Structure formats: C-alpha cells, structure tokens
Amino acid sequence: MEIRNIAIIAHVDHGKTTLVDRILHATKVFRDNQETGELIMDSNDLEKERGITIFSKNAAVTYKDVKINVIDTPGHSDFGGEVERVLKMADGVLLLVDAFEGPMPQTRFVLQKALQLDLKPIVVINKVDKPNCRPDEVHDAVFELFFNLDATEEQLDFPTFYGSGKNGWFNDTLTPSEDITPLMDGILKYVPEPKVNEGPLQMQITSLDYSSFLGRIAIGKVSRGVIKENQPIALMQADGSIKKSRVRELYVFEGMGKRKVSEVVAGDLCAVVGLEDFNIGDTIADQENPEALPVISVDEPTMSMLFSINNSPFFGKDGKFVTSRHLRDRLMKETEKNLALRVEDTDSADSFLVYGRGILHLGVLVETMRREGYELTVGQPQVLVKYIDGKKSEPYENLVVDVPAEFSGKVIDLVTQRKGELLVMETKGEMQHLEFEIPSRGLIGLRSNMLTNTAGEAVMAHRFVEYKPWKGNIPGRNNGVLISKNQSPTTAYSIDKLQDRGSFFVDPGEEVYVGQIIAEHIKPGDLVVNATEGKKLTNMRASGSDDSVRIVPKIQMTLEECMEYIQQDECIEVTPKHIRLRKVILDEEERKKVQKSMKTEMA
C-alpha cells in the first residue's frame, strides 16, 4: 500500500484543525450517523476552551487506496518545540494561509524549518468566502516569503489551492468545487512517497504518548528497515549510550485511533510499546548493527518562573496535592514529554525554577496542574539573560501588529515606551500593518494594555529572533495595589467606601487574608486597607438601608493576564478553585524591613 506523510502548518486561527475535520469526513472515517462535532482533533479540555491546538496529533485516512498520515500542529510560537520535531515525520507540508491576513510571523518560523528539511510544500489559501479577502495578493506574499527564506527553485514552484474549510470545498482555481476532492488528489500528486534508505532498522522517536495501561509509548517514522513485534532492538541515546531492549507491541495510526499490527515497514509512522527510559530524539536501531540518526535540537527556552508550594493562610483548602514533593514529581514528569521545558532546583526545597518558551507555554502548564488538583504559587515571569562576549544580552522578538489606522499612533507609542523599534509600516486595506523589534521583557503585560488602548481591535503576533545587548530599564506597571489588612470575608459597606481608591479584584463576601492583593490603586504606590469592616448598627438606624450600596463588579483576570500583571515582590496563588494575587511577603512590617534593607544596599 502506498503511503503519504503530511503535516499541516499555519498561524493561529487560520483553520488547520477545521481542515483536518474536512479530510476526516471526506474519507469516511466516521459512520454516516455518527455524531462528531467540530474540531475533532482538539481533544484536550484546555484546547477546546481556548480554541487553539497545544499538542500535535496524528490521524490516518485512506483515499484511493493510498494511506495518508495527517499531522495537525500547534500554531503558537510558544509551542514551537512541538512543531519542529513533528516535521521530521512528514514528507510534505500543507501551508495554510488566511485569504485576508496573509502569511504571519509564525508561518515564517515553521515554514523555514520545513524548507530546511526539504519537505514538499502545498499552499492552501483558506477563508476565500470572507468579505475583503485578497487571495491573489496573499499568493504573491507567500511567494515572496518562500523567496526570502531561500527556497530552492523546485520549492518555489509550489501548487496552490483555494477554498473555504468552513464551507467544505477546496479547488485549484477560485471557482468553488463540490467538495475537497481536488485537494486530496493534489496531496497524492504532489507529496512524494517517503524516502526509504536500504539497510537495517532505523526509527527516530519524535513524540510521546502515555497510557496508564501500557506506560510510555514512543511515536516516530520508520526511516529504514522493518520493525516487528518482539524484535530485540538497540536504543541509541543522545549521550551516545546504547541500551538493549525489546519491542512489546506495535501500533499504526488508523482514523482517529491506533490499530495493532505485527510489523511496520519503512516510511510509515508507528507507535512502539515496551521500551524503558527513552527520550525524544533517541534512535531505535537494529541490535546487530546499530546506527544512530542525528539528534533533534529544539530551540532554547527564553523565560523562567519560580514555582513554589502554596504557603498562604488558605493552604490546602481546595487542592489534593500541596507538598513540595508532589510539585517536584509533577514538574519532572512534564519535562519528559514537554521538550522546550526545563526545571531546576533552587536553594529552597519548596521552590523550583521552571524555564519555558513564553507566557502561554508556562500558563498552559499551570492551568493543567491546577485542574489536576495541585496548589502552588507562581512568581513574576523573568526573561533569561545570557552573557555573549562579556556583554549582558537578552532575547528579542519580532512583533507584528495589525490595527485600524486611527489607533496606529497609540500602538507605536506603547511599543516604543517599552524599547521597541518600528521597522515596517504599511497599509493593508483599512488596517495599518506595523512590525517592530522589541526585547521579550517589553512584551510582558503589553497585550492587555494594547487591547485597552485600541478598543480591542489590535491583532498582535510575535516570535523569538535572537539574543542582543540589554536595552536598559523598561517601565513596568504604573499603579500600585490595595492590600488586605486582615483575614475575614469582605463587606459591601467597606468596598463601597474604598471604590474611589481603586478597582477591585474581589466581590463582597469573599474570604481574603493579610497580604492578599484585593484591588488596583488609582495612583502609584501600595496601600494597606481594611475591606472587612461591617456597618455599626444602633437602634436609631434601620438595618436594611445597606441595600442601596452600588458595587462595581470585580475585575476578572485570566491566569495569563495575572502573570503579566504582577511585579517582582508579588506572586499568584493558584488552586483548583481560585486564582488570587498576593504579596510574596504577607506581613506588612516584614515587607517594610526588606524594602529598607534593599534601599540601604543600593545606596
């Protein structure tokens, strides 16, 4: 049976997962009467809620007697580590581009990796049913992008398909076809069969799966030879050591699931059960003449956060896993499958430094742990500083903002305050297209500010470029916070009296503790306030007149917004039911002592 391996790459929200849905339906993976819903591949709860793909996934369909392995990849740069290694399994890529937005910075990053691996590209221009779409201009922009990425002449001669995933058609011209058959035929025609070398078994492990029943499962593409059940193999690791092992069971992908087989030939993707202690990037080779494939390198992390146990007065109220041993075991387990993540111990037994690719990458980890019943506190995200040729250097990012023309001045002002430099300014229809180079530190907290100042119209995307010399101090949050003075439920009476001092993060009746941040101050500088005082009642006053209090609803912040909001002396308490902001040192007198000692040190 012939095989085609294809990865789908695109920027966030350009319609990858919807396209995979269409392919699954077109090839009759499901029975006609089966309920499937939308975005079938995004099976994780977090993915469903946020509408983004976080983990890459495989599906396999059969079309005209050819098996097509389809790999859906994440679009966010924070999950770039996931995309890079998955491309190793593919022989061709479907580059999906929005007919209005055109190629975005993220598209560039993934496409560059694909071209370096010499994968055959097919360009799919999606959403041509949208008003204001410009498929011809977008096609030219894609060609220019290929040219700028030093594509070979063969790669520049890419086939293009137009269509609408939502309406279920793709064709090689702009006239709508009945279904996606022209695209499926295109995949068979343009994507080459897997290249197979002669020789004994070689297979590189490019991703992991875990099953409570079978343990860790290695997934990869057999690049030469045949792998069989019960076959003795050599596991060749990155440090050069070789372990002897045996294949217990083999599975190939079929539809949305896996099917057990006795052997897999070169060119197909498979899942291997029964190997101990393997890592991503290891090679499964023939035991008699083992040869290793080159190790996969993944981009370095650019950000770190301090994860600690929850030591607030409300410790252990919601969560099941609260000790430092629980926290450590969970973080170590995460590094096994999350390649771009690193965990280091600190001087304190209760805290760990966690390094990741960006705020979203770390935020997804915290949110996942919280749902599993963990309680923890996380500190302010810090960028990783390197010393290059003796100079202090920090990561820089390429930031692209598309915004209505009337807001472009505000956007430029916001970004330049944070040490960003404007590189490109073009008009795209009614939108201004702005490109900046900005230190990664400047991005922390930028998104919420930018959305406030552009009435929610700005679309921003960024990707890591390189390390450059340190840019100096970047101003952080201007306003201080209001801190709770005592521990008990807040009252409407007190909050009403304090409303002119700031905007609250808590509602009346919520339990607060000493040192918890309950509101944003309207001025710089922090203030300790009492929000728990009840109204003193005498016989003269009617006790019912409290109903006339008008309280503004509290500000709801997501976990990522909290991570961008806090300053260095603050942290976030995360439990399965609550996200609270607090000072690292809860006691006011202690905080003052520490501030004094820091001032004298600096003097």
Note the residue count of the chain. Answer: 603
**Is 17 labeled as ligand-binding?**
yes
185 annotated ligand-binding residue? no
**Number of neighbours of residue 535 by Cβ within 10 angstroms:** 15
Q: Has 16 been labeled as part of a binding site? A: yes
What the block records as the tokens of 68 is 């097509």
- The alpha carbon dihedral of 194, 195, 197, 203 has a sign of negative
Two tokens, residue 421: 């430099």
> Are 363 and 563 within 8 A, CB to CB?
yes
User: How many helices (H) and strands (E) in the chain?
Assistant: 15, 35
Q: Count Cβ atoms below 10 Å from residue 248 Cβ, excluding itself.
A: 13
The DSSP output letter for 255 is: B
Cβ 73 vs Cβ 84: under 8 Å: no
List C-alpha distances in Å: 114 to 3, 145, 291, 336, 550: 19, 13, 25, 25, 58
Cα(364)–Cα(503) distance, integer angstroms: 27
Contact 313, 514 (CB under 8 A): yes
- To the question of whether residue 129 is assigned a binding role by annotation, the answer is yes
126 is in an annotated binding site: yes
Phi, psi of 383 (to 5 degrees): -85, 155
Three-state SS letters, 105-126: HHHHHHHHHHHHCCCEEEEEEE
Written as one string, the DSSP assignment of 325-375 is HHHHHHHHHHHHH-TT-EEEE-SSTTEEEEEESSHHHHHHHHHHHHHTTB-
**The token pair that represents 106 in the structure block:** 């993220």
Is residue 127 part of an annotated ligand binding site? Answer: yes
Buried b (16+ CB within 10 A) or exposed e, 302-312: bbbbbbbbbeb
Q: How far apart are CA 111 and CA 14, in angstroms?
A: 15
Determine if residue 402 is labeled as part of a ligand binding site: no
Binding-site residues for GTP, please? 13-18, 126-129
Binding-site residues, please? 13-18, 126-129
